[in-house]
Structures are given as structure tokens and as C-alpha cells.
């Protein structure tokens, strides 16, 4: 074997499924000087890939994960390393049957074919060794099967070598990663140092340890997944293949069972969470099996033995079917259950390809390689972006708390609005105590505690009666309150005070400030000082990178305000595209934000400040410093809820005095506290305001979102070329607002969609646009002022005409909907905002 080169364009650390996919796709996209190293031997270096169960189920409620999985499946099939067996998720409870129906709808939204809900007898027909009396039914997906991840990885690695793009070295251990001026410089190994422009960490369980060598943080933890193989199984004695029956997931017990030749593999996510640190993983030399195969702890599998016996008594109850192989296998868990992908915010050129399971490995390899080589991936990775984390989310405590809490939800019925219960109360706005006194129900966003609604407003539910659109079904009532809609209606009548402290805020200053914001933002940033501009931020392809507001506070001073959830990746995006002479200051932890909106907002704010708050004196889209209660406040006249009012930015320390003054002045004007339930859903939906993530993401462009400007500025900006081209094309789909015509289910109960459901033709067919994108509900929620439940979706031209009748599938039933257009159902002429 030749010795390590001293230089390379890119070093990929790790030769599991992820590292192997990375080197192949980097080579395919034209990089020619790639070095891959792994501390273990090939083809199985001893990481999680080596003991993976390798099966691939296709449906995930999360679009990004579903897309990565489907792309991976295509790649495994192309490499001839996939065997399709079909798979069945079985339900033991009525709640799970509902969840299986929900999984069908998610599958339809993301383009999964061959799905069916089965009766217990139909399950038995496909899996004869199951005891159908313990289940209520199943969810079958034809395309489920098993890949050979080691073989696929080997083939991809060999292809990259054949292309002359890759040198791959086994048994090379990384000792250090060196950084110079914030950029990765070299990989120091036990066999020499390799200087590199790019380094990819694709080392699974070990990733956090490696990143730390460069001063970066990949927040994941190794965790145990238990599995065992029993056999020989009498029924499989004549098995001709490895897998002749569909794989079964026993969802309610967090387990799976699959034939494995003449054996049966039983795996579990049901046991107590067992977490380790990377330092505790033995070396290849020290390990009894592979480093990531820890000794099986049978006590942790006690319930699982019983559950497997219940479901498959004929096989599992046979004393002759013995435990041939049983391990506590290590895999990676993250605080939010998503992978950790992208360039680390701490070190330029250092990329993370971590917390990736076999089912999404090749898809991640392709997407990340595209991101590195082309500047953006075809699959939008915003939910996996490593830059999403705030420092509070990368602590060992947070990682372990959330991994402990999340592990047993692997097959869980997780409500879209479900909240974490561990490690709460970490980030509190200065108004937290006041909100708690008002009975705030706190939800969490990037560890900020945010009031979602207030118990103090409970009386309003009676006041507004049926206008709050009460819900009876448990699923839609969970993590929801009619108080949200009551707060909405009261705000529209008088005024609401909203805590928006979770916003991310950063300043861009200096001689390069204007050039920076001009180069990143689609809209004209060279505006008068004191202007507030809401602007799209585009990817090179013209897809959405973000949407945010920019205030010009001085000739060389801009303040960006963006959503908390993706604020840190926006911050990185601006810094990555900074012009010479731009200085960045993150103000997120220094400045709090309050919103005051409603017909009485002007009267309330005017009562606490001497500033001219009149429409003429303080027009919409402007900002200025005012004084409230002796404190300096930056007021910005914008609105995301569709009413007159201001966002007020004030230092954390001065915030309480400002709240108190507004609160006191507001009493005679009917001011109420209003939660994020209104701000994030009801207020925005009836104004048809799009949100980054649901509506605005890389898959869609500005024209499709219906947000093109009349003119395009002269200055260059990221995505401009694409934007100009999109303006000349007919959009393949446009964002539409739909209302539900009849909410009544077959059992006579009113049901309310939550988002993510497929939009269908009246014949029940999926709607696919010319780019192959399927229409699904991007956002859903109440529009209390118009008495409707609103759905947003992208529709191709033939279906987007107002008045078009379509259907939405929700939990296995179809409901009639009508296209209303693409604009606001409430106050379409913005008379309120501009009043």
C-alpha cells in the first residue's frame, strides 16, 4: 500500500456508508484529488454501518428525511445492492391505526407508491408466522427492503478510485485536525499529515470527538440499539433467499422483526436509552467484536422478548430457535433527531456528514457533495444543517437529555406540535415571569421558552363562542387550545402584545455592510436610513434560502431580524457571503422583541412615548429609535399578523420596564397578551403570509411563491441569474390558499388538517407539477376572522384557478376543499396594516 499523500483537495474521514457515498459523489461531480482514511480495516472498518440491520422503510413524516431516504433507495437499486421484500408496520392499538393512516398520507405527499392499509388477516396472509389476534391491522409498503450497505459502500469507493479521483487508506488514525485563520489546514494522522482545503467528518459515533480536534462541535451521542438473531427457524429451513417475507415493524412496542436467512432478527428501540461518549468506544484492537458492537445486555431486552413472543409465537416460542448473535449496537443520536450536515460554523472547509443512518446514507452523500461542489444540494437540507444549532443546543447535557427523551420515540406517534420535556427553561426572555403570571403555556423554539397561548385569556373562548372553531377530535386538540383563536379575534378587535424574543438579530456594519446585504438579499437594500425591507434570500438556483427583514440603521449599519429556528444558519449564510469590510455582531442574546398589534396599537404605543406614531409621522416599512418608560427602543412598523402595529426591540435589561409601561397603558384599550399560536399560524395564514420552511424552501422559487417584485435591482445578488430566468418562465406551480368546504368525517366528527397532507384531484389522484413535485399542504390552521380552516399548497396551473374544487386526504379520509387564490382571505388590501 502506498503511503499517505501530504496534500489533497479534500480528505474524507470515515469509510462507512456515508464516507463512501461522499467520495463517490465528490468524484462524480468532478473533484479529482480526494483522500479517504479510516482507522479501521476495509471493507468493514467497525463503525455502525458494519452492524446495521440495513432495512429501509420509505415513509417519514419529515419531508427532508423522506427525500433523502428515497434518493438513497434509488442509489442502492442502481448499485444492485437492494432487495425488495415489502414491509408492514403493524398496529396493536386504535391510536396506532390512526397513525398508520397518517403515515399513508405522508407517503403520498412525498411520492411513495405501493402503500396499503391491511386487515389483520391480510397481514397474516403475507406474514404467516404472525399472531394476527394481537394486531388491529397493518400498513404495507411494497418498496421496503434490505440494502447491502457494506457492498454499496465498497462499490462507490471503488468507482471513485477507478475515476482516478480517490486514494483510500485503511488503518489510518486521525490524531489532530489543524486550523489556520478559521480555515481547516490539515489532518494529522498516525502515519503522516495531509494538508487539505476541505475535510469531511463522516465518522458516525466518533464525529463529535473528531470535530472537537478542530474546535468545532457536532452535537451527537453514541447510543445503543439492541438486536438479536435467533435460529434456526424451522419455518425458514428451506429458505432460498435471505428475505422471503415482508419486514415487520411492531410499532407499538418499538420493535422490528425480519427474516434473515434461516434466522429471525429482532431489534428494539424500546429499551432504556443507553448513551455513551465517543471516548468509551474501544479501538478495533481492544474490541471483542467490532468497536461499535457492545456486549448484549439481556435484562434490557426482557419486555422485548415477551413482545416478540406475543407477535410471532410460532417462531419465537420455539426453544430450538436460539440466540446466535446478540449485540448492543451503537448508532448516533442527535438532540432533534435529524442528521448533522454541512460546513461547521466554527471552521471553514470542515464539513460534517454525521448522524446519518444507512437508509439515508447515499442520499446524504449525494446532497452534501452537491453542496460542497456546486454550492447547494438538490434536496433542501435546512432541517439537517449543522449551522442550525445555538451554543445552548450543543452542550453535552442538552444532547444527552434530548437523546434520552427521543430514543423511545423512534417508532413513536409523535404529534407535529409535540414538545420536549427535558432540558427546558434554558433561554428565557425578560418577560418570562410576567408571562408565567398570566398563565402562559410555553412551547420551545431553539431552547427559548415562548408563550403559545395564555390561560388568562380563557374567558375569551366563551365570548367568541363557535367563532373559535372548537375541536373535538383528540389528535387535533392535542397541543392546541381554542384560546389561540380567541386571542386572535380579540387582537383583531383591540390589541395584542406578543413576545418575539426568540428572533435572531445580527448587525452588519462597516464599509462593506451595504455590499454584503445587497449581495445576499433579493430586494433593494440601498434604501434610505430608517427603512425596513422584508426580503427573500435566494440560493444560487433561485430557490428559497430564507426570508427576513433588514433595517437600515445607518449608511453603514444594517440589522437583520430573522426566525429563531434558522437564525444561526442565516447568520452563517451572510458571513459566508460577506463583502470586504463588513463586521458582524450577533445581538440575539442582547436584544428582546415585543410586538404590539391591533386596531388600538397606535393609541397604546402613543400613550407611552412622546414620539410621533401617526401614520404620516411613522409610516409602514420604517423604523426609528423611540423612548418608552425612559428606555431606548427601536420601533419598526411591520406586521406578520395583518394588523397595525410595531415590533419593538429593546435590550434584555430594559425590556421589563417597557412591557410594564405598555401593559399599563394597554388596559384601557383592551390589550391582551397574545401567544405564538396566533403569530405563527392564525394571524399569518389568513393574511396568506408564507413561512420559511413550510412554504419557502429550496424546492420552490420566488415566482412560484407569488412574491416577485415589480422590478429587479441592478445590484448583483445570489440567485439573481436564476431569478431573472424564473421571471421569464411560466411557473410550474404557484402557492395557493385553499379552504376546507366540509370537515365532517365518516364518523360525523369535524376534523382539521395539520399540514403535510396530500392535495388530490376529485378523483383522488395525486397532483404532480411539470417538475415532478407533488402537491401537499405546506401549512394548515384556523383563520378565525373568516371562519375557515386554511390550507396552503403549491398547485400547477391547471388546478390553481380560484374556485377549483379539490380534495385533501387526512387520516385515511378525503375532504372537499376549494382554491381561493394565492392572496390573503382577510383584509386583502392591507387597510388595517396601513391605517
Partner 1 sequence: MDIAVCIKRVPLSPGRWTLTADGTEIDTSSSAMGWTLSPHEECATEAAVQLKETDGGTVTAFTLGTPESSEQIRELMAVGVDRGVLLETDGAEWDAQATAAALAEAIRADETDFSAVILGTESADVSGYQVGVRLAHALGWPIVTNVKGLSVSNGVARCERVVGSEREVYEVSLPAVIAVKDGVNIPRYPSVPGRIKARKKPIDTANPTRSDPRVEKVSLALPPQEAGTAEIIGNGPDAAPRVVEILKEIGVLA
The answer to whether the bond into 43 is cis (omega within 30° of 0) is: yes
Alpha-carbon gap, residue 673 to 322, rounded angstroms: 62
Residue found by looking up cell 432478527 in the block = 265
> 683: helix, coil or strand?
helix
The interface region with partner 1, picked from 60-68, 321-329, 463-471, 597-605 by CB under 8 A, is: 321-329
Minimum distance from CB of 131 to partner 1 (Å)? 14
Minimum distance from CB of 456 to partner 1 (Å)? 49
Q: Kindly state the helix (H) or strand (E) to which residue 290 belongs, with its residue range.
A: none
Cα 666–672–677 angle (5° rounding)?
Answer: 145
**Residue count, binding to partner 1 (CB under 8 A):** 33
Alpha-carbon gap, residue 503 to 128, rounded angstroms: 55
Nearer to partner 1 (CB atom), residue 314 or residue 741: 314
Cα 252–47–296 angle (5° rounding)?
Answer: 50
Minimum distance from CB of 265 to partner 1 (Å)? 13
Residue 320 lies near partner 1 (rule: CB under 8 A): yes
Alpha-carbon gap, residue 155 to 81, rounded angstroms: 9
Residue 230 lies near partner 1 (rule: CB under 8 A): yes
> 37: helix, coil or strand?
strand
Nearer to partner 1 (CB atom), residue 41 or residue 128: 41
Nearer to partner 1 (CB atom), residue 187 or residue 308: 308
Are β-strands 55-56 and 350-354 bridged in parallel, bridged antiparallel, or unpaired?
A: unpaired
Residue 331 lies near partner 1 (rule: CB under 8 A): no
Nearer to partner 1 (CB atom), residue 311 or residue 817: 311
Are β-strands 263-268 and 255-260 bridged in parallel, bridged antiparallel, or unpaired?
A: antiparallel
Minimum distance from CB of 712 to partner 1 (Å)? 56
Alpha-carbon gap, residue 383 to 679, rounded angstroms: 21
- In this structure, the number of other CB atoms found within 10 A of the CB of residue 186 comes to 19
Residue found by looking up cell 443520536 in the block = 333
Minimum distance from CB of 40 to partner 1 (Å)? 12
Nearer to partner 1 (CB atom), residue 320 or residue 748: 320
- Which residue of 323, 346, 741, 813 would you call a contact of partner 1, by CB under 8 A? 323
Nearer to partner 1 (CB atom), residue 325 or residue 620: 325
By CB atoms closer than 10 A (0-12, 13-18, 19+), residue 671 is buried
Distances (CA, A) of 721 to 202, 515, 539, 759: 34, 18, 11, 32
Nearer to partner 1 (CB atom), residue 306 or residue 437: 306
- In this structure, the number of other CB atoms found within 10 A of the CB of residue 421 comes to 9
Nearer to partner 1 (CB atom), residue 296 or residue 475: 296
- Site string (97-126) toward partner 1, x via CB under 8 A: ------------------------------
Minimum distance from CB of 261 to partner 1 (Å)? 16
Of 512, 508, 556, 548, nearest in space to 532 by CA:
548
Longest dimension (CA), the chain: 88
Minimum distance from CB of 206 to partner 1 (Å)? 14
Nearer to partner 1 (CB atom), residue 233 or residue 644: 233
Alpha-carbon gap, residue 599 to 615, rounded angstroms: 13
Minimum distance from CB of 696 to partner 1 (Å)? 45
Alpha-carbon gap, residue 739 to 788, rounded angstroms: 6
Residue found by looking up cell 470515515 in the block = 14
Nearer to partner 1 (CB atom), residue 37 or residue 316: 316
Distances (CA, A) of 206 to 162, 327, 572: 29, 19, 25
Distances (CA, A) of 27 to 34, 167, 405, 782: 8, 11, 39, 49
Nearer to partner 1 (CB atom), residue 230 or residue 628: 230
Minimum distance from CB of 758 to partner 1 (Å)? 40
Cα 190–197–566 angle (5° rounding)?
Answer: 110
Binders of partner 1 among residues 498 to 537 (CB under 8 A) are none
Minimum distance from CB of 150 to partner 1 (Å)? 14
Are β-strands 557-562 and 532-538 bridged in parallel, bridged antiparallel, or unpaired?
A: unpaired
Residue 318 lies near partner 1 (rule: CB under 8 A): yes
Nearer to partner 1 (CB atom), residue 167 or residue 701: 167
Residue 191 lies near partner 1 (rule: CB under 8 A): no
| Three cell numbers, residue 249 | 415493524
Alpha-carbon gap, residue 185 to 6, rounded angstroms: 12
Distance of alpha carbon 359 from the chain centroid: 17
Minimum distance from CB of 25 to partner 1 (Å)? 22
Binders of partner 1 among residues 257 to 316 (CB under 8 A) are 276, 280-288, 291, 294-296, 298-299, 301-302, 305-306, 308-309, 316
Nearer to partner 1 (CB atom), residue 284 or residue 709: 284
Nearer to partner 1 (CB atom), residue 205 or residue 754: 205
Nearer to partner 1 (CB atom), residue 324 or residue 577: 324
Minimum distance from CB of 192 to partner 1 (Å)? 20
- Which residue of 180, 181, 238, 319 would you call a contact of partner 1, by CB under 8 A? 319
Minimum distance from CB of 203 to partner 1 (Å)? 17
Binders of partner 1 among residues 26 to 65 (CB under 8 A) are 41
Nearer to partner 1 (CB atom), residue 317 or residue 764: 317
Residue 324 lies near partner 1 (rule: CB under 8 A): yes
Measured in residues, the chain has a length of 835
Alpha-carbon gap, residue 643 to 596, rounded angstroms: 9
Minimum distance from CB of 129 to partner 1 (Å)? 13
Residue 416 lies near partner 1 (rule: CB under 8 A): no
The interface region with partner 1, picked from 67-75, 133-141, 319-327, 404-412 by CB under 8 A, is: 319-327
| Three cell numbers, residue 326 | 446478540
- Which residue of 322, 585, 614, 744 would you call a contact of partner 1, by CB under 8 A? 322
DSSP structural state of residue 757 = P
Residue 321 lies near partner 1 (rule: CB under 8 A): yes
| Three cell numbers, residue 443 | 412551547
- Residues 6 or more apart whose Cβ sits within 8 Å of residue 729: 703
Residue 466 lies near partner 1 (rule: CB under 8 A): no
Minimum distance from CB of 152 to partner 1 (Å)? 16
Minimum distance from CB of 323 to partner 1 (Å)? 5
Q: What share of the chain is helix, strand, coil (3-state, %, to 5)?
A: 30, 30, 40
Q: Which residues bind partner 1 (CB under 8 A)?
A: 41, 230, 276, 280-288, 291, 294-296, 298-299, 301-302, 305-306, 308-309, 316-324
Amino acid at each position: 500500500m502506498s503511503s499517505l499523500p501530504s496534500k489533497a483537495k479534500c480528505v474524507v474521514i470515515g469509510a462507512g456508508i456515508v464516507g463512501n457515498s461522499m467520495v463517490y459523489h465528490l468524484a462524480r461531480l468532478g473533484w479529482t484529488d480526494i483522500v479517504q482514511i479510516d482507522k479501521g480495516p476495509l471493507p468493514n472498518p467497525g463503525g455502525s454501518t458494519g452492524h446495521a440491520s440495513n432495512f429501509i422503510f420509505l415513509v417519514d413524516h419529515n419531508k427532508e428525511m423522506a427525500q433523502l431516504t428515497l434518493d438513497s433507495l434509488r442509489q442502492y437499486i442502481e448499485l444492485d445492492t437492494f432487495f425488495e421484500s415489502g414491509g408492514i408496520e403493524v398496529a396493536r392499538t386504535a391510536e396506532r391505526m390512526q397513525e398508520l393512516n397518517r403515515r399513508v398520507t405522508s407517503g403520498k405527499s412525498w411520492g411513495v407508491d405501493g402503500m396499503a392499509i391491511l386487515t389483520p388477516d391480510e397481514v397474516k396472509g403475507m406474514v404467516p408466522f404472525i399472531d394476527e389476534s394481537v394486531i388491529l391491522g397493518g400498513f404495507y409498503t411494497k418498496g421496503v427492503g434490505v440494502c447491502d450497505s457494506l457492498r454499496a459502500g465498497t462499490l462507490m469507493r471503488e468507482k471513485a478510485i477507478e475515476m482516478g479521483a480517490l486514494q483510500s487508506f485503511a488503518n489510518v488514525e486521525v490524531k489532530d485536525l489543524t486550523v489556520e485563520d478559521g480555515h481547516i489546514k490539515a489532518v494529522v494522522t498516525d502515519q503522516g499529515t495531509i494538508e487539505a482545503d476541505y475535510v469531511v467528518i463522516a465518522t458516525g459515533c466518533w464525529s463529535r470527538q473528531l470535530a472537537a480536534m478542530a474546535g468545532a462541535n457536532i452535537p451527537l451521542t453514541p447510543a445503543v440499539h439492541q438486536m438479536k438473531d435467533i435460529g434456526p427457524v424451522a419455518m425458514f429451513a428451506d429458505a432460498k433467499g435471505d428475505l422471503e417475507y415482508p419486514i415487520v415493524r411492531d410499532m407499538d412496542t418499538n420493535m422490528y422483526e425480519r427474516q434473515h436467512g434461516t434466522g429471525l432478527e429482532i431489534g428494539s428501540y424500546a429499551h432504556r436509552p443507553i448513551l455513551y461518549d465517543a471516548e468509551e468506544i474501544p479501538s478495533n484492537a481492544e474490541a471483542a467484536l467490532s468497536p461499535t458492537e457492545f456486549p448484549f445486555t439481556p435484562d434490557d431486552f426482557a419486555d422485548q422478548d415477551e413482545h416478540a413472543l406475543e407477535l410471532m409465537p410460532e417462531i419465537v416460542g420455539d426453544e430450538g430457535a436460539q440466540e446466535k448473535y446478540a449485540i448492543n449496537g451503537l448508532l448516533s443520536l442527535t438532540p432533534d433527531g435529524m442528521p448533522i450536515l454541512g460546513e461547521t460554523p466554527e471552521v471553514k472547509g470542515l464539513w460534517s456528514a454525521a448522524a446519518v443512518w444507512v437508509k439515508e446514507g447515499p442520499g446524504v452523500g449525494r446532497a452534501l457533495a452537491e453542496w460542497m461542489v456546486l454550492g447547494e444540494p438538490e434536496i433542501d437540507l435546512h432541517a439537517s444543517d449543522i449551522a442550525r444549532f445555538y451554543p445552548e443546543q450543543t452542550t453535552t447535557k442538552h444532547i444527552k437529555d434530548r437523546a434520552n427523551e427521543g430514543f423511545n420515540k423512534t417508532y413513536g406517534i409523535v404529534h407535529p406540535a409535540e414538545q420536549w420535556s427535558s432540558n427546558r427553561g434554558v433561554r428565557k426572555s425578560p418577560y418570562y415571569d410576567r408571562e408565567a403570571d398570566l398563565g402562559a403555556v410555553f412551547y420551545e423554539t431553539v431552547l427559548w421558552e415562548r408563550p403559545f397561548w395564555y390561560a388568562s385569556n380563557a374567558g375569551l373562548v366563551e365570548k367568541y363562542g363557535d367563532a373559535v372553531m372548537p375541536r373535538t377530535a383528540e389528535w387535533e386538540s392535542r397541543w392546541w387550545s381554542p384560546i389561540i383563536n380567541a386571542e386572535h379575534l380579540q387582537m383583531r378587535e383591540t390589541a395584542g402584545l406578543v413576545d418575539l424574543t426568540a428572533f435572531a438579530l445580527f448587525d452588519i456594519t462597516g464599509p462593506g455592510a451595504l455590499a454584503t446585504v445587497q449581495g445576499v438579499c433579493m430586494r433593494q437594500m440601498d434604501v434610505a436610513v430608517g427603512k425596513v425591507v422584508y426580503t427573500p434570500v435566494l440560493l444560487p438556483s433561485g430557490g428559497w434560502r430564507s426570508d427576513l427583514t433588514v433595517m437600515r440603521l445607518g449608511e453603514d449599519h444594517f440589522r437583520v431580524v430573522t426566525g429563531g429556528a434558522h437564525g444561526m444558519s442565516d447568520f452563517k449564510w451572510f458571513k459566508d457571503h460577506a463583502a470586504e469590510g463588513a463586521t458582524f455582531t450577533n445581538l440575539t442574546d442582547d436584544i428582546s422583541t415585543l410586538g404590539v398589534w391591533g386596531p388600538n396599537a397606535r393609541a397604546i404605543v402613543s400613550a407611552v412615548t412622546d414620539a410621533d406614531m401617526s401614520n404620516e409621522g411613522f409610516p409602514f416599512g420604517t423604523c426609528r429609535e423611540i423612548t418608552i418608560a425612559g428606555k431606548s427602543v427601536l420601533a419598526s412598523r411591520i406586521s406578520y399578523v395583518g394588523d397595525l402595529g410595531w415590533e419593538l426591540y429593546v435590550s434584555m435589561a430594559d425590556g421589563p420596564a417597557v412591557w410594564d409601561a405598555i401593559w399599563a397603558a394597554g388596559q384601557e384599550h383592551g390589550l391582551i397578551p397574545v401567544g405564538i399560536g396566533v403569530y405563527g399560524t392564525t394571524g399569518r395564514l389568513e393574511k396568506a403570509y408564507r413561512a420559511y420552511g413550510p412554504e419557502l424552501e429550496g424546492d420552490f422559487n420566488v415566482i412560484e411563491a407569488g412574491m416577485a417584485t415589480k422590478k429587479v435591482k441592478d445590484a448583483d445578488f445570489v440567485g439573481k441569474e436564476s431569478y431573472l430566468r424564473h421571471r421569464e418562465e411560466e411557473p410550474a406551480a404557484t402557492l395557493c390558499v385553499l379552504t376546507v368546504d366540509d370537515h365532517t368525517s365518516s364518523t360525523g366528527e369535524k376534523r382539521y388538517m395539520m399540514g403535510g397532507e396530500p392535495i388530490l384531484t376529485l378523483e383522488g389522484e395525486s397532483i404532480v407539477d411539470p417538475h415532478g413535485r407533488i402537491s401537499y399542504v405546506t401549512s394548515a390552521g384556523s383563520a378565525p376572522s373568516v371562519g375557515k380552516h386554511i390550507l396552503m399548497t403549491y398547485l400547477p396551473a391547471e388546478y390553481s384557478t380560484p374556485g377549483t374544487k379539490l380534495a385533501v386526504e387526512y387520516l385515511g379520509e378525503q375532504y372537499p376543499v376549494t382554491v381561493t387564490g394565492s392572496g390573503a382571505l382577510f383584509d386583502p388590501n392591507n387597510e388595517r396594516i396601513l391605517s
